[in-house]
Homo-oligomer: A and B are copies of this chain.
Amino acid sequence: MTKLLLAMLAVISAAMPSHASAQAAGAPGAQAEQFTPEFQRVHTARDPKHTPRIEAPDSVRRGEWFKVTVTVGAESMHPSLQEHFVRYIALYKDSVEISRVYLHPVYSAPTVTFTIALDEGGALRALAEPTHSAAWEAMRKISVVP
């Protein structure tokens, strides 16, 4: 069904005049048909397939390297399909981005282990952005001792 739609789109777009430069898809505003409310804001409600799971120690020493594994989603692995996959997983400490991994549609599974060190305690945050919506966010407290 999806493939049929894509095939139809391909035929339609091949038939449409294209003056390139900045007009990716025919009539001005035509891209609006691609928007859905799912894309409008980061999702913080818990969803078993999309909310990232953060595995990390509860407490670490300041400046000590430790591992953080982030997996999408919290209860079952999000699929890796050409038409539906996790684009990237990013790890933050409060507002500060620490590491970000971009994934392949079919060769990557949405789980990654980073090695990081922290300056002060707070919230580890993971953002995972699938292709069909804005990012999903999870949080996990961590304390840092001297």
Contacts and interface: CB of A to CB of B under 8 A. Distances in A.
Most buried by B among A94, A108, A118: A108
B96 A41 contact: yes
Interface of A (DSSP majority class):
loop
Interface in A87-131: 87-88, 93-120, 129, 131
A51 B120 CA distance: 25
A101 B104 contact: no
A4 interface: no
Interface residues of A, number: 86
A62 interface: yes
A11 interface: no
Nearest to A19: B76
A83 B80 contact: no
Contact of A65 (B31, B81, B99): B31
28 contacts: A2-B56, A2-B57, A6-B83, A16-B76, A20-B77, A22-B65, A22-B111, A22-B115, A23-B79, A24-B76, A24-B110, A29-B62, A29-B64, A31-B109, A31-B117, A35-B62, A39-B96, A42-B96, A83-B132, A87-B102, A87-B105, A95-B134, A97-B104, A98-B104, A99-B102, A109-B115, A112-B115, A131-B131
